[in-house]
Amino acid sequence: MFVTVFRSRLKPTAQPDYAETAARMSALARQMPGYVSHKVFIAEDGERVTLVEFETEEAMMGWARHPEHVAAKQQGRASFYSEYSIQICEQKRAHVFRPQA
């Protein structure tokens, strides 16, 4: 499993166009081979954290190189984000706790 941690802050003027592009990227990501999940968290200070999971590094790179995603990333740098950082993490172990009903 590979996880992308995308931390970002939006420009104040970005919201209307950003929401439309983000919705399209979410729908597209779900269709990619090897996609597992993604979630977005927004902190009180406005920082956004998006966690994206793919089964393999190849699947993750397929998403990174998808032409629509590449265009959205370019649009993000030009219009949406005041700053961002990306971390790519490989899962070494996983533990899950779910109480039985």
- Cα–Cα distance for residue pair 35/11, rounded to 1 Å: 28
Query: What pLDDT shows up at residue 64?
Result: 96
**Is the confidence at residue 32, as pLDDT, over 90?**
yes
> What tokens appear for 29 in the block?
């990501």
H or E segment at 77? none
Q: What is the CA radius of gyration of the chain?
A: 15
Of 3.40.50.970, 3.30.70.100, 3.40.640.10, 2.40.50.140, the CATH number of 2-90 is 3.30.70.100
Q: Whole-model pTM?
A: 0.89
- pLDDT value of residue 15: 78
Domain ranges (residues) in the chain? 2-90
Task: Tell me how long the chain is.
Answer: 101
CB atoms within 10 A of CB 96: 4
- Give the residue carrying structure tokens 């999971």: 53
pLDDT class for 14, splitting at 50, 70, 90?
Answer: confident
Say whether pLDDT at 101 is over 90.
no
